[in-house]
Structure 1
Amino acid sequence: MSENKNKYGADNIQALEGLEAVRKRPGMYIGSTDSKGLHHLVWEVVDNSIDEHLAGHCDAISITIHKDNSITVKDNGRGIPVGMHAKLKKSALEVVMTILHAGGKFDKDTYKVSGGLHGVGVSCVNALSDYLKAEVHRDGKIYIQEYSEGKPQTEVIESGTTDKRGTFITYRPDANIFDELDYKYDILATRFKEMSYLNSGLTLILEDEREQVEGKNRTDTYYSEGGLKEFVKYIDQSRTAIIENPIYVKAKEDNVEVEVAMQYNTSYSENIYSFVNNINTREGGTHVSGFKRAVNRVFLKFAEDNGLFSKLKFKVSGEDFREGMTAIVSVKVPEPQFKGQTKGELGNSEVTGIVSRACGKVLQYYLEENKHEAKRIIDKVILAATARHAARKARELVQRKNVLTGSGL
């Protein structure tokens, strides 16, 4: 090997400036560069619009897939500020679009809760797009700035007057970064349907210019008035419910908002879907732990107080209380701590107690006031516990036989 190859000095240390780090290691910011990462770009842009809705300033978001697989997201929020940033001496719009960890999410007065926690969202999308246009309708004027690979191609230009307000983002993912560029309509549609249930009163419109239906672009509109109660019924539509209406929890403690809808059905599976500030926490976290704790505690106490477990000769476990349950646990947390950039699991320890107390009160009241439904749920729990106990006994018997006959591994 040559001497130069082995040389390690000050010149070998690289400092990536601006959004170069995102382009160099995109997986650190959006998880991957496959189809999942490609769709993650849409979630990041839409999350900003959802935050405007949560702050009470936006009630409609439209998402358009163009023929070249570029995306436009429009909202009717306040519009990203365009004034000069005092410290950085450039337009606030350019700051938000080109600097990591920049935005209104870090100012508690601007957004009480926010999905785009790390403040890397829209600047990440900008870095990973070969073209992006930000158009802001604010204070009766239209402002536009265009970018390529995260770098501004123009100054912020004032481009006429408007009677609308909001932020319009159009971007085209960079083919040099992503393994594929084809947006899947069904993936987007499923997520936006979910978002409409999580944000009652918000209208989401998805349009696809690549596909024609009766001579028009394929379009679907998502809107929910009933929120999580409608959501849990939608998930359970192919199952037989054993209680007439979902059990619903809505509470607030220490600025943490808790909303839960749960239903019991005749199936044998447990389905718990959890969200923090509208982000799907697939690995669960402290909010799900709090919910499970409340279910176990309240149902066990109710059953024991009413002598419903008196004939059982074995202990009922937590999973027995959740067999045949479909639940959605949604919390709004001002300063969520996620495990990992892709926000799969909530880590805030204080949320466990808040969710547990909120759910505990409502469940206790529900069971006392709805004795017939309570009896049906407890019967289902007893059936689950009995089946689990019998399965364990059968396994032990087989294992004993194997040991006695010498057929063990």
Structure 2
Amino acid sequence: MPESYGADSLTVLEGLDAVRKRPGMYIGTTDSQGLMHCLWEIIDNAVDEALAGACDHITVTLHEDGSVEVADNGRGIPVDIEPKTKLTGVEVVLTKLHAGAKFGNSSYNAAGGLHGVGSSVVNALSSRLDVEVDRDGKTHHMAFHQGHPGVYTDADPAHPSPDSPFKRTRKNRPTELEIIGRVPAKVTGTRIRYWADPEIFNDTARFSYDQLIDRVRQTSFLVPGLRITVVDEHIPATGDETIDEMREIDETSDETPGEGSHGTADEETESAADAAISGESVAIVAARTEAARHTHRRIEEFCHTGGVKDFVDFLSNGEPVSGIWRISGQDTYDEETQAVGEGGELHAQKVTRDCAVDIAMRWINGYDTKVLSFVNVVETPGGGTHVDGFLASITRQVRKAVEDNARRLKVNLKDANMRVERDDIMAGLVAVVTVRIAEPQFQGQTKDVLGTAQVRPIVAKMTDRQFGEMISGSKRGYKDQSSRVLDKIVGEMHARIQARKTKEVTRRKNALESASMPPKLSDCQPGNDDVAELFIVEGDSALGTAKAARNSAFQALLPIRGKILNVQKASLSQMLSNKECAAIIQVVGAGSGASFDIEQARYNKIIMMTDADVDGAHIRILLLTLFYRYMRPLIEHGHVYAAVPPLHRIALAGSHKGEYIYTYSDDELEGRLVDLDRRKVAYNPDIQRYKGLGEMDADQLADTTMDPRTRMLRRIRMEDAAQAADIFSLLMGDDVPPRKRFIVDNADDFDRSKIDT
């Protein structure tokens, strides 16, 4: 009988307890990604002050004790009493969910932190959080432990610690801000320092310095004139030359937020836009960058004045086909929203919103696309209505321009197949799409996709007008550029049409020839495409065992002989003439390169099953290089895996005779043996070590490596395409000296456990 279920079975979580109970609802995960998300929430709040015109300098400090501090010279969190809760503004912001100044229309017209949970969630998930606020000529201080206000007694106030004795403020008692110093009346700002709670975040959670630098650099482009300094105390300084040099540069700069060229829609040529950025500003930024790299990475500082134009220039890797084109403007839209009344009640209210649009774009040679989108400096990786409006408009305007220039471009308008598609336009496009609006509607707290529907027609209308003049060549100074862009787009269209024709011929041939598949392929039964698995097996000896271990209903086997061709160094013709590479592409059945069509792939999982040794690891990286260069969507959509065969087998004895334990590394073996000795479980001291997959019998291989019920697979992911391209070029390319430097520089940090993850 089930237990009785009544009202006494219900649990009510008060305050921030719900955040600690279900942190994934607020930050996504409790690994490194969630740890960085907390940092973004605090940084975004500081950036919001810059967007409001109240802040021009933010400092992010990674302290040696693992804490993080974000300081800004904005207006400072309010320190007076909030009438409804009778608490100070500091305590309200840091302890109450959905509380802040971003739900109205006056304090923040465009903000990144919009759901009112950022600071309070970080506070709840921190073992300690200290906040200092400069306002009204005083420095105010308050401390929290796991979201609860109170007082720490630090043995050394200069080195606060979450382990110091803590006295919690009694419930329902107001917590007064402690005044710890005085500042000039005009000095304002907020400093938040927090220690992530190890009870919440798992052992693998780590701050990523590179992600932080990328995010800070990105923000400096999006908020022209905002100076952001990153201090990393984990890396010891080798001298004071860099810091002194940066201070001297900073003293010579008289920049204020908003100064410098932001560009307008009326810029006539790229050279005119470039000339709008003062030589002094460029020199300052260049000198700061050089100074930061001079001896160490302890301090890096970012400040840009060109906005999204500079951002696109930074993102452009390749020979430019066009200059940087700028689309900008402002419009309004009406929206019905819930407003907070004087008594705290919600009521529907129709408001007029401002929408500022700023887009920069250019085409470069190549077919890779790089389109980044932002709402109030918060990146929207999933796009949204602003990106939809932009892409729909440029597609419409390019098609119109192609029709108007059909004779010169040699486009037959009567041929239905000769129609420009969005993929043709996106090839080689580098663009940054930004909008600033009040209270945007995001899909989820992680703000991946903008959902405000009224933004789409505004962006589309501006793009239609301004981009239409550029691509048609009617705007002065754009005729030659638009001609080059149209030539490139039509070239991509012809290449796509030709590739499709070639693919259709190949498919017809494969359908007619029963012997089209390599004879060494042991295919699975048809009709199981949604679960079919292709195991790429190293060697014929392993193939024999795998045939007996597999489930032929949905598992296919393709053996390869040793190490395949390194396609990073080889040409396309060399790759296609290589029997092993050609066989893999043929068996996968979805083509290769730009014509690759993942919908035609014959298998749901591609599993690399190689020996658990150095040679096996080398074969895996060669296979991954082939997939990355010629079948990249397989990796992007998560269809490529690495099998994880065991290294050792422990045969138990005594009462456990006939039972086996498999281990996958020397460290795991040592730990298992220690555990068995501690538990006094007998085992055969002659530990079997597998030199290859062929040494296992069929049952062992099935249980450990092939049976979906008991095996372990590692999915190959590619979270950063640009970084992946750089890594493949570095590790597998022709240029040896950079690879040698990389190996030497990272030898001390080598972690064997991270191989293949």
How does the TM-score come out when normalised to structure 1?
A: 0.96
> Within 5 Å, which residues of 2 pair with 1:145-156?
145-154=142-151, 155=175, 156=177
Q: Give the aligned partner of residue 195 of structure 1.
A: 219
Report the equivalent of 2:195.
172
Aligned residue among 51, 54, 67 for 1:54: 51
Aligned to 1:10: 7
Establish whether residue 266 from structure 1 lines up as the match of residue 263 from structure 2: no
Select 1:162's aligned residue among 153, 173, 183. Answer: 183
1:229 maps to 2:309: yes
Does residue 321 of structure 2 align to residue 242 of structure 1? Answer: yes
What is the CA deviation profile of residues 57-109 of structure 1, one whole-angstrom value per residue up to 9, with x for unaligned ones? 00110000001110110000000001111111111110111000000011211
- SS of structure 2 residue aligned to 1:298: helix
Compute the displacement of 1:323 (Å).
Answer: 1.0
1:209 counterpart = 2:220: no
Judged with a 3 Å threshold, the aligned counterparts in structure 2 of structure 1 residues 349 and 356 are, in CA distance, closer, same or farther, namely same
Aligned twin of 1:341: 445
* Secondary structure at 2:65 match in 1: coil
Q: Is residue 2:385 matched to residue 1:364?
A: no
Q: For 1:6-61, what per-residue CA distance to the aligned partner results, in whole angstroms no more than 9, with x for missing partners?
A: 22221111111000011001110011111011011111001111111111100110
Structure 1 residue 305 and structure 2 residue 404: aligned? Answer: yes
Distance change >3 Å, CA 280–CA 407, structure 1 → 2: farther
* Equivalent of residue 392 in structure 1, options 484, 489, 500: 500
Task: Note the C-alpha offset of 1:335.
Answer: 2.1
- Amino acid in structure 1 at the alignment position of 2:229: I
State the alpha-carbon separation in 2 of the partners of residues 327 and 107 from structure 1.
32
1:132, 1:172 within 8 Å by CA — same for their partners in 2? yes
**Structure 1: which amino acid aligns with 2:319?**
T
Residue aligned with 1:375, SS: helix
2:484 counterpart (367, 376, 383) = 376
Cα distance in 1, alignment partners of residues 235 and 462 from structure 2: 46
Moved more, 397-406 or 316-325: 397-406
Number of the residue aligned with 1:318? 422
Hey, what does 2:432 align to over in structure 1? Answer: 328
Identical residues among aligned pairs (%): 41
Following superposition, the deviation at residue 309 of structure 1 comes to 4.7
* Alpha-carbon distance, 1:210 to partner: 0.7
Larger Rg: 2
Question: Higher RCO, 1 or 2 (CA under 8 Å, sep at least 6)?
Answer: 1
SS of 1:106 mapped into structure 2: coil
SS of corresponding position for 2:81: coil
**Counterpart selection for 1:218 from 298, 303, 311:** 298
Q: In 2, distance between residues paired with 1:170 and 1:311?
A: 61
1:310 shift after superposition: 4.7
| Match for residue 76 of structure 2 among 76, 79, 84 | 79
How far, CA to CA, are the matches of 1:181 and 1:396 in structure 2? 48
**Where does the alignment leave 5 or more consecutive residues of structure 2 unmatched?**
152-174, 241-296, 333-353, 517-525, 527-757
Residue identity in the other structure for 1:321: I
Of residues 143-152 and 293-302 in structure 1, the stretch that sits farther from structure 2 once superposed is: 293-302
Structure 1 distance, partners of 2:44, 2:411, is 51
Aligned mates of 1:64, 1:36 — CA distance in 2? 19
Q: Return the offset for 1:160.
A: 2.1
Contact persistence 2:30–2:205 (CA under 8 A): no
8 Å contact kept, 1:39–1:183: yes
Report the Cα offset of residue 285 of structure 1: 1.0
Name structure 1 gaps, 5 residues minimum: none
* SS state at 2:390 partner: helix
Over 3 Å counting, the alpha-carbon distance change for 1:407 and 1:354 in structure 2 is farther
Partner Cα distance (2:69, 2:313) in 1: 31
Structure 2 contact 31–206 (Cα < 8 Å) conserved: no
Deviation, structure 1 residue 365: 2.2
- Provide, for residues 153-190 of structure 1, a one-character-per-residue CA deviation record: whole Å limited to 9, x for no partner: 14311222112310100100001101145322111011
1:90 aligns with 2:113: no
In 1, the alpha carbon distance for the partners of 2:205 and 2:189 equals 27
Give the counterpart letter for 1:129 in structure 2. Answer: S
Contact map agreement 1:71 1:171 (CA 8 A) in 2 = yes
- Contact 1:81/1:92 (8 A) holds in 2: yes
Query: Larger deviation: 363-372 or 221-230?
Result: 363-372
Counterpart-to-counterpart distance in 1, 2:464 and 2:30: 42
Equivalenced residue count is 404
With structure 2 as the length reference, what TM-score do the two structures score?
A: 0.52
Tell me which residue corresponds to 2:99: 102
CA contact (8 A) 1:85 1:92 kept: yes
User: Aligned equivalents of 1:358 and 1:310: distance in 2?
Assistant: 30
Match of 2:385 in 1: 286
SS across alignment from 2:424: helix
